[in-house]
């Protein structure tokens, strides 16, 4: 049986206590909420934090509540099930409910949290393996080794951003609150990520993601589409979040098309957005946006499916997402 390494376990009851505990703990300490990403990684010895700061007892982290001036604030440790079933999420943010529904399995959604999904470790077929397997390839630079087997000449790690909620939240223009030793700050979700498979988060090590802030409904619509092998369990090999704000009789005033699963960070395709703005999501502009996304997407051979097929899927998937945006899913 695969077993966890040993750890010290601290159970703070407030955000302040949690941040303080993290600051006091050794540098390898990690926050843990649902544990659905961290514990498998610990069992495979990717991560072996000697101290865990467990967040389950921090009640304020779990709330889903309306924001002043509209929109929703979702506590980082609200489970994916709680998020997708929340009446306000379903009413105002059905695309987020859908993205959460598409994450792994219903059972895992009972444990995994929205904050955890945002911070999901990047994934790679050369990395998401047990210790002995990784030893047999002489490890990789993301853990214990020096080389990136996906692109051996590369100086960087190409592990893949694989969280379903992320491309959608970036497309929505959502923000997150980060609580750190120096106080709280608010950043757009898009600013949370770095294009690097190892240092994939722009968050400071001790900062705690506390809330995800969703915009108020205001003439926009959003959708999320996912490509994967099976209808459950699988991470996206491509996730497309699309958002558009409409004016007048359906003219696109603003748009964002964001891809996940193709690189180490979510990828907003400016060209795709540009192709949509000013039009009415007619077939021609959708086709142009899909082409722009196809040009931009450069998946590497480190997830399920072949890279050529994953690349090819960008065009129909983006087009379908945009048609969903126009016609309803």
Partner 1 sequence: MRTMSPAEPVQLRLTVNGEPRVVSAPLHHTLLEVLREELGLTGTKHGCELGECGTCTVLVDGAPVLSCLAVPAALEGREVTTVEGMETAAGLHPLQQAFVELGAAQCGYCTPGFLLAAMALLDESPRPARDEIVDALGGNLCRCTGYLKIYEAVELAAARMEGEDAEPAEETLYGEA
Partner 2 sequence: MARRDGGSGLRVVGRALPKVDAVAKVTGRTRFADDLFLPRMLHCRMLRSTVPHAEIRAVDTSAAEAMEGVVAVLTGKDLPTPYGILPVSQDEHALCLDKVRFIGDPVAAVAAIDEESAEAACRAIAVEYAELDAVASIEDALDGEDPGIHLYGDGHNVHKAVALEFGDVEAALGEADVVLEDTFFYEGNTHLPMEQHAALADWRPDGKLTLWSSTQTPHYVHRALARVLETPASRIRVIATPNGGGFGGKSDPFNHEIVVAELSRRTGRPVKICLTREEVFYCHRGRHPVLMWVKTGFRNDGAITGMHFRSFLDGGAYGSYGVASTYYTGALQTVTYPVPAYRFEGLRAFTNKPPCGPKRGHGTPQPRFALEVQIDKAAHRLGLDPARMRLDHLVPPDSVTANWLRIGSMGLGACIEKVVAASGWEEKHGRLPEGRGVGLACGSYISGAGLPIYWNAMPHSGVQLKLDRGGGVTVFCGSTDIGQGSDSILAYVVAEVLGVDPFAIEVVTADTSLTPVDLGSYSSRVTLMSGNAALQAAERARELLVQALAEKWEIPGSRIALAEGRAFDVEDPDRSIPFADAVVAAEAKFGTIGTVGSYTPPASPGRYKGAGVGPSPAYSYAAAVAEVTVDPETGETRVDEVWIAHDIGRAINPVVAIGQVEGSVYMGLGEALMEEMTYRGNRNVVHRHPSLLEYKSPTTHEMCRIHTFLIEDPDPNGPFGAKEVGQGPLLPIPPAIVNAIHDAVGVRVDEVPVTPQKVLAALKRKAKGEEAREGPAGIPEFPWPEPVRVPPPSSGGDGRAIDDPRHIGAGGVRDGGVTGGVPA
**Closer of 97 and 275 to partner 1 (Cβ):** 97
The residue within the footprint of partner 1, chosen from 26, 69, 231, 249 (CB under 8 A), is: 231
Cβ-count burial 14-42 (b if 16+ within 10 Å, e if not): ebeebbebbeebeeebbbbbbbbbbbebb
Instruction: Using the minimum distance from each CB to partner 2, give the nearer residue, 133 or 199.
Output: 133
- The contact mask relative to partner 2 for 142-161 (x = CB under 8 A, - = no) is -------x------------
Tokens of 295: 């040009």
Burial letters 52-70, b for 16+ CB under 10 A, else e: bbbbeebeebbebeeeeee
Each residue 292-311 as x (binds partner 2 by CB under 8 A) or -, in order, gives ------------xxx-xx--
* Smallest separation, CB 239 to partner 1 (Å): 18
Residue 258 near residue 233, CB atoms below 8 Å: no
Would you count residue 36 as binding partner 1 (CB under 8 A)? Answer: yes
Which one among 28, 63, 216, 233 touches partner 1, defined by CB under 8 A?
233
What is the rounded distance in angstroms from the CA atom of residue 257 to the CA atom of residue 205?
29
| Per CB under 8 A, 304 contacts partner 1 | no
Residue 231 backbone phi and psi in degrees, to 5: -75, 0
Tokens found for residue 231: 């209808």
What are the DSSP E strand ranges found in 40-180? Answer: 51-54, 64-66, 72-75, 175-180
Between residues 126 and 246, which has the closer beta carbon with respect to partner 2?
Answer: 126
The tokens for 329 are: 């899913």
Interface size with partner 2, residues (CB under 8 A): 28
Q: Is 12 in the site for partner 1 (CB under 8 A)?
A: yes
**Distant-in-sequence, close-in-space partners of 204: CB < 8 Å, separation ≥ 6:** 178, 180
What is the Cα–Cα distance from 51 to 28, expressed in whole angstroms?
7
Least Å distance, CB 200 to partner 2, is 20
**Cα distances (angstroms) measured from residue 321 to each of 91, 168, 249, 308:** 19, 11, 20, 20
The CA distance from 307 to 276, in Å, is: 27
Phi, psi of 301 (to 5 degrees): -85, 70
Instruction: In angstroms, give the least distance from the CB of 137 to partner 2.
Output: 5
Binding residue count for partner 1, defined by CB under 8 A: 34
Interacting stretch for partner 1, rule CB under 8 A, among 105-113, 137-145, 204-212, 213-221?
105-113
Interacting residue with partner 1 among 67, 73, 108, 154 (CB under 8 A): 108
Q: Under the criterion CB under 8 A, does residue 233 sit at the interface with partner 2?
A: yes
Q: Which stretch binds partner 1 (CB under 8 A): 199-207, 208-216, 219-227, 229-237?
A: 229-237
User: How many angstroms separate the CA atoms of 247 and 303, rounded?
Assistant: 39
Interface with partner 1 (CB under 8 A), residue from 15, 19, 29, 54: 54
181 binds partner 1 (CB under 8 A): no
Residues that bind partner 2 (CB under 8 A): 1-3, 125-126, 128-130, 132-133, 135-137, 149, 229-234, 304-306, 308-309, 312-313, 316
Residues that bind partner 1 (CB under 8 A): 1-13, 17, 21, 35-36, 39-40, 43-44, 54, 56, 81, 104-108, 110-111, 231-233
């Amino acid at each position: 049986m695969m077993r966890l390494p040993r750890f010290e376990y601290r159970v703070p009851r407030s955000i302040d206590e949690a941040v303080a505990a993290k600051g006091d703990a050794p540098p390898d300490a990690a926050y843990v909420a649902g544990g659905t990403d961290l514990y498998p990684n610990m069992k495979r010895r990717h991560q072996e934090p000697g101290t865990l700061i467990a967040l389950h007892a921090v009640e304020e982290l779990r709330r889903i509540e309306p924001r002043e001036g509209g929109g929703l604030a979702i506590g980082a440790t609200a489970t994916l099930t709680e998020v997708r079933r929340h009446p306000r999420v379903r009413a105002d943010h059905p695309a987020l409910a859908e993205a959460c529904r598409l994450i792994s399995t219903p059972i895992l959604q009972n444990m995994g949290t929205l904050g955890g999904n945002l911070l999901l470790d990047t994934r790679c077929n050369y990395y998401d393996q047990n210790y002995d397997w990784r030893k047999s390839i002489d490890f990789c630079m993301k853990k214990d080794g020096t080389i990136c087997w996906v692109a051996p000449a590369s100086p960087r790690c190409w592990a893949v951003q694989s969280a379903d909620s992320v491309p959608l939240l970036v497309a929505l223009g959502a923000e997150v609150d980060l609580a750190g030793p120096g106080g709280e700050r608010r950043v757009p979700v898009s600013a949370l990520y770095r294009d690097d498979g190892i240092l994939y988060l722009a968050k400071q090590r001790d900062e705690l993601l506390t809330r995800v802030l969703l915009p108020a409904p205001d003439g926009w619509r959003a959708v999320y589409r996912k490509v994967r092998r099976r209808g459950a369990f699988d991470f996206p090999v491509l996730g497309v979040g699309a958002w558009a704000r409409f004016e007048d009789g359906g003219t696109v005033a603003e748009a964002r098309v964001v891809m996940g699963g193709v690189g180490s960070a979510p990828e907003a395709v400016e060209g795709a957005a540009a192709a949509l703005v000013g039009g009415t999501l007619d077939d021609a502009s959708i086709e142009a946006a899909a082409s722009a996304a196809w040009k931009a997407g450069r998946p590497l051979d480190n997830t399920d499916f072949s890279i050529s097929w994953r690349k090819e899927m960008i065009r129909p998937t983006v087009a379908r997402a945009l048609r969903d945006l126009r016609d309803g899913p």
